[in-house]
Amino acid sequence: MTAPEPPNAIPDFLLEQFTDLSPETLRGIADYARGDTYIAPDKAPETIVESFALQDDDTLEAVAEYADSLAAFLETRDAESLTAVTSTQDTQERWGHDNILKWHGN
C-alpha cells in the first residue's frame, strides 16, 4: 500500500505540515475540518487550525478525506508519522542501492 495522493485542492503549506502528525492527530484534524467537533486536536499545529478559517468548504472536505486516508495508511504500517515511513523507505532504498553497487564491484 502506498501513501495516499493529496488532492490538488489542498494548499501546499497545509500538506507540508501533515508529514509529522500521528494518525490520532490526523483523525482529529479530519473531524475538525468536517465540523464534527469545534475543538481542534491538542497536537495540531496552530497554523493548520488558523488556516481552516480561510479555506472554502471544498478544501476543508478534501483536507478531511486526505487526513483520514493518511491516518489509515499510517495505522496499517504501525507508523507514528509520514516522515517515519518515508525515512524508513529511504534507508531501505539506500541499503539496496549500496549493495547493488558493492555486488557489481563499484
Q: How confident is the model at residue 85 (pLDDT cuts 50, 70, 90)?
A: confident
Residue 96, in any domain of the structure: no
Residue 52, in any domain of the structure: yes
Residue 89, in any domain of the structure: no
- The predicted model scores a pTM of 0.78
Number of domains present in the structure of the chain: 1
Distance separating alpha carbons of residues 83 and 86, to the nearest angstrom:
5
The whole-number pLDDT of residue 104 equals: 55
C-alpha cell at 41: 486536536
Residue 62, in any domain of the structure: yes
The whole-number pLDDT of residue 105 equals: 59
Distance separating alpha carbons of residues 78 and 5, to the nearest angstrom:
19
Distance separating alpha carbons of residues 53 and 75, to the nearest angstrom:
29
Please list, residue by residue across 32-69, b when 16 or more beta carbons sit within 10 angstroms of its beta carbon and e when fewer do: bbbeeeeebbeebbeebeebbeebeeebbbbbbbbbbb
Q: How confident is the model at residue 2 (pLDDT cuts 50, 70, 90)?
A: confident
Contact 71, 30 (CB under 8 A): yes
Residue 4, in any domain of the structure: no
C-alpha neighbours within 13 Å on the C-beta side of residue 31: 14
Residue 76, in any domain of the structure: yes
Residue 64, in any domain of the structure: yes
Domain with 49 in it: 12-81
> pLDDT by residue (tens digit) across 11-70?
999 999 999 999 999 999 999 999 999 999 999 999 999 999 999 999 999 999 999 999
Give residue 95's identity as a one-letter amino acid code.
W
Residue 95, in any domain of the structure: no
